Amino acid sequence: MDRREIAALLALIGRLDPRTIRTDQGEARDQLAQWHELLGDVPMATPHSWDALAAARQHIRTSPYQILPADIARPWASYRRDRLSRHSDPTPSVDPDDQAAWAAELAGTRRAVATGIAQPSQARAITTGRDGGDPRLEARLREIGSCIPPAARAALAPYRPARAAREAAVAQGLTDALSVRCAWCLAQPGEPCRRRRIGPDGGARGTAPCATHPSRLDLAAAQQPEQVQQPAAA
């Protein structure tokens, strides 16, 4: 804020809280100089949600103490931290071999986000999971059957024996126990069962992978006929 904006801010604060008004000309000049020195790097407002006047109103409305420059600077610092915490650096558009230009563009982007000139750049979300993902990707996976080519799957089999055995069993029409949630250890579909480690106080200390619980096998076997009949009904 420049001196004119600081004067406008002090005028609003004085109207809302007369305790801040300085009637002596010298005191008013000193107050303006002090606030300008402490808030010179804080903008009056930004295109994205920051407003120094709103911060002043909030303090006067919620605090019995006379407002100080710190009561504007603290919300501004919090605003900057929040925006940077939600920002993921996008890939710069410059030549990656030009280290100086690369660093300068990253710094400029972060500065624009922190000061409210640009919106934070969100990291691209994971496209699969229990909550669903990109419908286009899911449709493509249904069309091709798997995101892993058969040759790559065969090459990975020696390094994933449990997964390979499970896939072989499913291919033979056997029960896939991991297709359902385990009611005993609460393992989600696709996750192996886990053994709970109980401490002396009776609390859980941690978990470790273990053999599939019998109750999960029974539940998967009970649901298998339904899964087989679904394509025929469609």
* Cα angle: 87, vertex 92, 97; to 5 degrees: 140
H or E segment to which residue 7 belongs = helix 3-16
Whether residue 36 contacts residue 69, with contact meaning beta carbons closer than 8 Å, is answered with no
Distance between CA atoms of 185 and 216, rounded to whole angstroms? 10
DSSP labels, 17-70: -GGG---SHHHHHHHHHHHHHHHTTS-SB-SSS-BHHHHHHHHHHH-SSPP-TH
| pLDDT string in tens for the chain (234-residue length) | 999 999 999 999 999 999 999 989 999 999 999 999 999 999 999 998 899 999 999 999 999 999 999 999 999 999 999 999 989 888 888 888 899 999 999 999 999 999 989 898 877 555 555 555 667 767 766 666 666 777 887 888 888 777 777 777 777 777 788 888 888 888 888 788 888 776 677 665 656 777 777 888 888 888 765 444 444 443
Q: Given the structure tokens 């001196």, which residue do they identify?
A: 3
Whether residue 181 contacts residue 189, with contact meaning beta carbons closer than 8 Å, is answered with yes
